[in-house]
């Protein structure tokens, strides 16, 4: 099977008549069936995606082309697709079928995308290794001893394994960029408010964003272009005009900020540290400017994130009561035990831990000391980031502190797992757009990602900056 890096190559073959959408879809279906152990998909919409492909082939025969003709997409199972089961990888949504499609799904389908299935993830998008799914862990297709990252682990594994061309994930603290880095892909968390969240299961509403995974920056830019823009069903979605993301400008010289405190390499994998330094030197040699900046608040980012995100999660997840939809415990005898037993039996361990921590930081007597304090530190983090981005075009960091880790390595210690998010949470705390791009391979054979965080709504620039990294 021919491996395609870019949609443009698929569309070229479709135009030349050497490829049909149906053949392409059948190749992906065969690839999925050949490696069931990866467990990336919770459900493959086989008959439906074949029908979509046949309809696309008929459209092509009539000369009708759309922006995403030929693009086969997987969607994370916290993104609604009308008439399809929808679980967020949790038992608590047992039997739930979505009554409508997310705005992003409608926009992608309207541009010719074919949806091949729904993808496994950490339960309610809470996790960094995809070990928290109620439907089993996802393996990293590059080396199955390693985690694919999380929480959008299935989204990353599916594209890396060649099960689909691109996928959607969600990113609350790094859940697109970290798995993209672990699986050698490009992944974008757009600016807060750039893409509608109508139809996305809420986890941390001041953090959550939906975004694409693909093998190329071009395809990530194209998918962002199709999804971005105001939506009458999401009041947090910005009315700012969407820029032109494709084609990507590539001729400019940029100013990259590098955080001084990171240069010492403390806590970083030494090979990652060396590769990062080498990339910085390369950028300089190519005529870009590197500005060393101090970011003394960085160590406060993770505790701030976990205080605020667990608080929001405890509130958002209060809707799962066992009454109107999803799982209801058979052991319940009255209304209160319906709530308690349904939730206790329906939620997994990590979700319960976050609900409990969030309940604590919002509880009487502790609100100001934890939640209120977190909101203040959040402002410090945002102001400092914006200050740096006034003098530079982007903040450059590694995406993670090392390569993907092995299963079980961090799963006994939640705090150790949370520290995974050190470089990614800042973009969610500040609402800024950030992209992870693969930039090196470790001697253990696993890919490494580099991250760019840019100005609010500067997605077009982020893609151009990312291209400069790959040059």
Partner 1 sequence: MKIDLNTVDRLAHLARLEFDEATKGKMLDDMNRFLEFAEKLNELDIAEVEPLIYMNSDHNVLRKDEVMQVIDHEAALKNAPKRDSDFFRVPKVIDK
User: Is 328 a binder of partner 1 (CB under 8 A)?
Assistant: yes
- Residue 241 contacts partner 1 per CB under 8 A: no
**65 or 367, CB closer to partner 1?**
367
Count of residues of this chain found to bind partner 1 when the rule CB under 8 A is applied: 76
Query: Which of 24, 114, 361, 466 lies at the binding interface for partner 1 (CB under 8 A)?
Result: 361
d(CA 36, CA 136): 12
If one asks whether residue 81 binds partner 1 (CB under 8 A), the answer comes out as no
Closest CA to 153 of 170, 364, 289: 170
Q: Which of 27, 54, 66, 359 binds partner 1 (CB under 8 A)?
A: 359
Nearer CB in complex with partner 1: 87/152: 87
- Is 295 among the residues that bind partner 1 (CB under 8 A)? no
At 167, phi and psi to the nearest 5? -150, 165
Q: Which of residues 127-146 bind partner 1 (CB under 8 A)?
A: none
Q: To the nearest whole angstrom, how small is the minimum distance from the Cβ of residue 109 to partner 1?
A: 19
Candidates 378, 384, 410, 455; binder of partner 1 (CB under 8 A) is 378
The answer to the question of residue 243 lying near partner 1 (CB under 8 A) is: no
Q: Does 382 bind partner 1 (CB under 8 A)?
A: yes
Q: If binding is defined by CB under 8 A, does position 91 make contact with partner 1? A: no
Stretch that binds partner 1, among 132-140, 250-258, 369-377, 434-442 (CB under 8 A): 369-377
Give the containing element (helix H, strand E) for 460: helix 459-470
CB nearer to partner 1: give 99 or 281.
99
Which of helix, strand or coil describes residue 36? helix
- The answer to whether 229 contacts partner 1 (rule: CB under 8 A) is no
With 0-12 CB in 10 A as exposed, 13-18 as middle and 19+ as buried, what is 36? Answer: exposed
Residue 390: phi, psi to the nearest 5? -80, -30
Q: Which of 3, 235, 390, 443 binds partner 1 (CB under 8 A)?
A: 235
Q: Does 386 bind partner 1 (CB under 8 A)?
A: no
Binding mask of the shown chain, residues 387 to 426, with x at each position contacting partner 1 by CB under 8 A: ---------------------------xx--x--------
Return the ∠ at Cα 384 (arms to 369 and 313), rounded to 5°: 45
In order, the DSSP letters of 393-453 are SEEEEESSSSSPPBTTSSTT-HHHHHGGGTTTHHHHHHT--EEEEEEEE-TTS-EEEEEEE
Whole-number Cα distances in Å, 460 to 43, 134, 464, 466: 34, 37, 7, 10
Calpha distance 63→395 (Å, rounded) = 44
Q: Which of 124, 130, 195 is nearest to 158 (CA)?
A: 130
Q: Is residue 84 part of the contact set for partner 1 (CB under 8 A)?
A: no
Hey, what are 245's tokens?
Answer: 């993301």
- Please tell me the distance from the alpha carbon of residue 112 to that of residue 247, in angstroms, as a whole number: 19
What is the pattern of x (binds partner 1, CB under 8 A) and - over residues 430-469? -x------------------------xx------------
- Secondary structure class of 311 (helix, strand, coil): helix
Identified binder of partner 1 from the candidate list 145, 376, 387, 391, rule CB under 8 A:
376
**327 near partner 1, rule: CB under 8 A:** yes
With H, G, I as helix, E, B as strand and everything else as coil, classify residue 141.
coil
Identify residues 302-321 at the interface with partner 1 (CB under 8 A).
302-304, 306-307, 314, 318, 321
Q: Which stretch binds partner 1 (CB under 8 A): 3-11, 17-25, 60-68, 367-375?
A: 367-375
CA distance 244 to 247: 8
Helix H segments across 94-148? Answer: 103-110
Catalytic residues: 76, 151, 175
Q: Which stretch binds partner 1 (CB under 8 A): 39-47, 178-186, 262-270, 352-360?
A: 352-360
230 contacts 237 by C-beta, under 8 angstroms: yes
- At its nearest, how many Å lie between partner 1 and the CB of residue 199? 12
């Amino acid at each position: 099977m021919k491996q395609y890096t870019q949609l443009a190559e698929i569309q070229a073959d479709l135009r030349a008549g050497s490829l049909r959408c149906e053949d392409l879809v059948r190749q992906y279906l065969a690839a999925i069936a050949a490696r069931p152990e990866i467990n990336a998909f919770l459900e493959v919409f086989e008959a439906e995606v074949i029908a979509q492909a046949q309809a696309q082939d008929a459209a092509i025969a009539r000369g009708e082309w759309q922006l995403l003709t030929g693009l086969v997409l997987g969607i994370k199972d916290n993104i609604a697709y009308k008439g399809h089961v929808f679980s967020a990888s949790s038992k608590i949504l047992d039997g739930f079928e979505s009554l409508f499609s997310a705005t992003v799904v409608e926009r992608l389908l309207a541009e010719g995308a074919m949806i091949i299935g729904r993808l496994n993830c950490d339960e309610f998008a809470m996790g960094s290794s995809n070990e928290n799914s109620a439907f089993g862990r996802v393996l990293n297709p590059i080396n199955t001893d390693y985690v694919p990252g999380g929480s959008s682990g299935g989204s990353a594994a599916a594209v890396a394994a060649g099960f689909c061309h691109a996928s959607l994930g969600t990113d609350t603290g790094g859940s697109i960029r970290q798995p993209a880095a672990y699986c050698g892909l490009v992944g974008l968390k757009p600016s807060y408010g750039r893409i509608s969240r109508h139809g996305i299961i809420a986890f941390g509403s001041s953090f959550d964003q939906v975004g694409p995974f693909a093998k190329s920056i071009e395809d990530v830019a194209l998918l962002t272009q199709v999804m971005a823009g105001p939506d009458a069903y999401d009041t947090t979605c910005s009315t700012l005009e969407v820029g032109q993301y494709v084609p990507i400008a590539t001729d400019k010289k940029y100013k990259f900020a590098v955080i001084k405190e990171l240069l010492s390499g403390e806590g970083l994998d030494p090979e990652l540290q060396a590769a990062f330094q080498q990339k910085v030197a390369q950028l300089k040699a190519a005529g870009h400017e590197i500005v060393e900046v101090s970011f003394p608040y960085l160590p406060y980012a993770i505790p701030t994130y976990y205080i605020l995100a667990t608080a929001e999660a405890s509130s958002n997840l209060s809707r799962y009561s066992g009454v109107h939809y999803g799982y209801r415990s058979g052991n319940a005898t009255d209304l209160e035990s319906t709530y308690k037993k349904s939730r206790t039996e329906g939620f997994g361990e990590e979700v319960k831990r976050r609900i409990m921590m969030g309940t604590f930081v919002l509880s009487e007597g502790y609100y100001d000391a934890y939640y209120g304090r977190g909101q203040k530190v959040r402002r410090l983090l945002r102001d400092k980031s914006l200050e740096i981005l006034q003098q530079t075009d982007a903040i450059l960091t590694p995406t993670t502190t090392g390569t993907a880790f092995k299963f079980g390595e961090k799963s006994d210690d939640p705090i150790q797992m949370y520290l995974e998010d050190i470089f990614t949470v800042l973009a969610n705390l500040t609402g800024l757009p950030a992209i992870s791009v693969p930039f090196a391979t470790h001697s253990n054979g696993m890919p490494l990602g580099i991250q760019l965080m840019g100005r609010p709504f500067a997605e077009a620039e982020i893609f151009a900056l990312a291209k400069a990294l790959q040059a």
